[in-house]
Amino acid sequence: MTSHEGGARALGALRLVLAGASLGTGNRGVEALARSVVDSIGGHRADAALTVLDDGWGVRRAPDLGLNASLAGVRWSRRVHRPESWARIRLAQALGSSRNPVAARIATADALLDLSGGDSFTDLYGPARLAAVSAPKHAAIRAGRPLVLLPQTYGPFATTRGRRDAERIVRSASLAFARDPHSHEVLVDLAGADADHTRLRQGVDVAFALRPRRPAEDVAAQVLEWTAGPVVGVNVSGLLLGSDARETFALAGDYLATVTDLVRRLLEAGSLVVFVPHVYSPGGCGESDIVAIRQVRDRLAPAERARTRVVPPELGPSELKWCISQVDWFVGSRMHATIAALSTATPVAAYAYSGKTVGVFDTCGVRDHVVDARRVAGGEAVEVLMGSFGARETTRTALARSVRAVVRQSQEQVADLLAAVEGWREIGGTAQPIA
């Protein structure tokens, strides 16, 4: 046994808090982030004590996560009397009270790991959303515990206040990963010239490491029956429906009409179209992809609709990843739906509404298969996407060469950060800020 191993054992199991990605939200992309981190931690430190912050109530055991794991509710809420309220947590931290369960877990954590939902560390969605995303980061800083920013997108920051708060957080963190080259440039800029750049890492999205899981046999058999002939998968985003979305995201045209025309072209090419929802709300409320899928199918002629199918929306992210890996080509607007394809070397294109997708595709060498919905819509967008469909075998070959290294990097970056956390524990449980 090495001295390092002996020191780690003497200190006991790692105590970690995971923020910015929770399970059971209905957003399979966010769930994929959380599940990937949990599984990776379990693969390297099976005895770790992990608390996952979510929007539930109280503290609950989570034995299905395969670790000594708990779920702890946190909320940006006016109900300040509740222990889940960030206002109450902040008060407990100021008073040095250990009676608040979340404040106590943060105070005793070896590190707080934060994902920001992958792409929510920005003021693009307004100050309230940024405040909620920043709350666990500030809590770790107040407690003097190491803050690790897991691979994510940084920015954009359109306001001076948002930008300055982001700078303070990044400079106060102990380690920070970006998930693509452009985000790494933004991260370095936020940290400033005097930062320790060895702790500003260029990583990849953690969902690349998510393992596909075959769903229940009746579902798997149905999917395999669909994929016996030419089949494509299509993800339609409920986030992009309506005139409000068009204005919010500065879309170039009618998103729903563009996707409907694309589906028609794919059907004309002889493919069965399988719709894959990646955000699901029971009853179809909110930004549920089921609503968007229903609207596309309603626009199709009966004969066209008969040649489409819908994957059960209740499937989890690992099961959806397996389903996506079965198709001949996939196209989606939800980025983590397309990551499920990328990471299984499934030919894929993205009809994207933000710049984050280009960076992720670029890590796999296929950035040319991203079509920007803010610049291209209608027939022009359909033609470019059909070009990706036509080049699917070339894309499959390219991904087979590139993806294995990306998946390996996704796994290794978790091992690297866990080693860093153990190193901090051995010198007293503290870590210097990045700047």
Judged against a pLDDT cut of 50, whether residue 4 lies above it is answered with no
How far apart CA 405 and CA 409 sit, in angstroms, is 6
Instruction: Report the pLDDT averaged over residues 166-195.
Output: 96
pTM, 2 dp: 0.91
Instruction: Report the pLDDT averaged over residues 5-14.
Output: 57
Does residue 434 belong to any structural domain of this protein? no
Q: So what's the pLDDT on residue 268? A: 98
Does residue 432 belong to any structural domain of this protein? no
Provide the token pair at 76: 């940006």
The Cα diameter of the chain in Å comes to 70
In this structure, the answer to whether residues 179 and 299 fall within a common structural domain is: no
In this structure, the answer to whether residues 221 and 182 fall within a common structural domain is: no
Instruction: Report the pLDDT averaged over residues 267-287.
Output: 87
Instruction: Report the pLDDT averaged over residues 266-288.
Output: 88
Which CATH number characterizes residue 243's domain? Answer: 3.40.50.2000
Judged against a pLDDT cut of 70, whether residue 284 lies above it is answered with no
Q: Which domain holds residue 15?
A: 3-209+407-426
Does residue 284 belong to any structural domain of this protein? yes
In this structure, the answer to whether residues 168 and 284 fall within a common structural domain is: no
Between these two residues, 354 and 319, which has the higher pLDDT value? 319
Q: So what's the pLDDT on residue 76? A: 83
Instruction: Report the pLDDT averaged over residues 294-310.
Output: 98
User: Cα 163 to the chain's mean position, in Å?
Assistant: 22
Q: Work out the pLDDT band at 12, boundaries 50, 70, 90.
A: confident
Residue 234: CB partners within 8 Å, gap ≥ 6? Answer: 259, 262, 263, 266, 273, 274, 275, 276, 330, 331, 332
Judged against a pLDDT cut of 70, whether residue 332 lies above it is answered with yes
Matching residue, tokens 């693509």:
180
In this structure, the answer to whether residues 330 and 419 fall within a common structural domain is: no
Q: So what's the pLDDT on residue 427? A: 84
Judged against a pLDDT cut of 50, whether residue 7 lies above it is answered with no
In this structure, the answer to whether residues 393 and 422 fall within a common structural domain is: no
How far apart CA 259 and CA 331 sit, in angstroms, is 10
Q: So what's the pLDDT on residue 9? A: 39
Q: So what's the pLDDT on residue 244? A: 87
Does residue 431 belong to any structural domain of this protein? no
Q: So what's the pLDDT on residue 286? A: 64
Q: So what's the pLDDT on residue 8? A: 39
Q: So what's the pLDDT on residue 101? A: 95
In this structure, the answer to whether residues 375 and 420 fall within a common structural domain is: no
Judged against a pLDDT cut of 80, whether residue 289 lies above it is answered with yes
Q: So what's the pLDDT on residue 183? A: 93
Q: Which phi and psi (to 5°) does residue 73 adopt?
A: -75, 135
DSSP alpha helix (H) spans, 300-377 = 302-305, 317-324, 335-342, 356-363
Q: So what's the pLDDT on residue 168? A: 98
Percentage of the chain beyond pLDDT 70 is 96
Judged against a pLDDT cut of 90, whether residue 412 lies above it is answered with yes
Q: Work out the pLDDT band at 343, boundaries 50, 70, 90.
A: very high
In this structure, the answer to whether residues 341 and 371 fall within a common structural domain is: yes
In this structure, the answer to whether residues 223 and 75 fall within a common structural domain is: no
DSSP alpha helix (H) spans, 173-254 = 181-191, 217-226, 242-248
Strand partners, 359: none
The domain tally of the chain equals: 2
User: What are the tens digits of pLDDT across the range 203-261?
Assistant: 999 999 999 999 999 999 999 999 999 999 999 999 999 888 998 899 999 999 999 99
Does residue 435 belong to any structural domain of this protein? no
Judged against a pLDDT cut of 50, whether residue 434 lies above it is answered with yes
In this structure, the answer to whether residues 119 and 170 fall within a common structural domain is: yes
Mean pLDDT of the chain: 93
Q: So what's the pLDDT on residue 5? A: 40
In this structure, the answer to whether residues 150 and 276 fall within a common structural domain is: no
In this structure, the answer to whether residues 359 and 335 fall within a common structural domain is: yes
Q: Work out the pLDDT band at 1, boundaries 50, 70, 90.
A: very low
Q: So what's the pLDDT on residue 2? A: 39
In this structure, the answer to whether residues 268 and 290 fall within a common structural domain is: yes
